[in-house]
Amino acid sequence: MVQQTLILIKPDGLKKSLTGNILSRLSETKLEIAAAKVVKVSRKLAEEHYSELKDKPFFEDLLKYIQGEFHGRRKVIAMVYHGEDAIKKVRQLAGATNPEEADPTSIRGSYGRITTSGVYENAIHASSSEKDAEREIKLWFKPEEIIFHIYPVKEVTRHNVKELDWE
């Protein structure tokens, strides 16, 4: 099944100069990059991205982490990967959520850590289901930023400028 998945290289991955290594590992999947950009993560975007975890005790730290507050740089690299079984392939390569439990050959197993205050610094985000992938991709990207449109789009007129938006 052709799928798309949202991948984020999180602030610890950027701080540790892991972008090249992570992209090399991702290229093992033979999936295609359908979109990529550097994003300054607002609190609103962080809250929406992690909305399902809002009742967890670690939610506030998670927001700080993804906004780069623990790594002195307010940015992440956001990408959409496209291809056969993209979600499962990237999740497998990323490894388990808890970096101490992740397979040591996975990205999180290789590069992640749990800080003494309990933050899971696991270097990468990868969508975990088709439903999550669609929600996350639409949250992080505009249709025109993505090469392949697997979700329907519509044309809208804003301030007399025509552009695509999610239907």
Q: Which does 122 bind (CB under 5 to 8 A by kind): Mg ion, ligand DAT, none?
A: ligand DAT
Stretch that binds Mg ion, among 5-13, 85-93, 127-135, 144-152 (CB under 5 A): 127-135
Contact flags string 64-103 toward ligand DAT, x per CB under 6 A: ---------------------------------x------
- The reply to whether 130 sits near Mg ion by the rule CB under 5 A is no
Binds ligand DAT (CB under 6 A): choice among 15, 75, 85, 128? 128
Rounded least distance, CB 57 to ligand DAT, Å: 8
The whole-angstrom separation of Cα 66 and Cα 141 is: 17
Residue placing its CB nearer to ligand DAT in the complex, 8 or 143: 8
For residue 154, give the nearest of 144, 167, 141, 143 by alpha carbon: 167
Q: Helices in the chain by DSSP H: which ranges?
A: 11-15, 19-27, 43-49, 59-66, 86-94, 107-111, 130-140
Q: How far is CA 121 from the centre of its chain?
A: 14
The whole-angstrom separation of Cα 33 and Cα 82 is: 6
Binds Mg ion (CB under 5 A): choice among 128, 151, 153, 164? 128
Q: Which does 57 bind (CB under 5 to 8 A by kind): ligand DAT, Mg ion, none?
A: none
Q: Which does 89 bind (CB under 5 to 8 A by kind): Mg ion, ligand DAT, none?
A: none
- The reply to whether 123 sits near ligand DAT by the rule CB under 6 A is no
Residues 6+ apart with CB under 8 A from 124: 7, 8, 9, 10, 13, 22, 94, 107, 108
Is 82 labeled as catalytic in the residue annotation?
no
Residue placing its CB nearer to Mg ion in the complex, 21 or 128: 128
The whole-angstrom separation of Cα 7 and Cα 19 is: 12
Q: How far is CA 91 from the centre of its chain?
A: 11
Please give the residue whose beta carbon sits closest to Mg ion in the complex. 128
Annotated catalytic sites, by residue?
Answer: 125
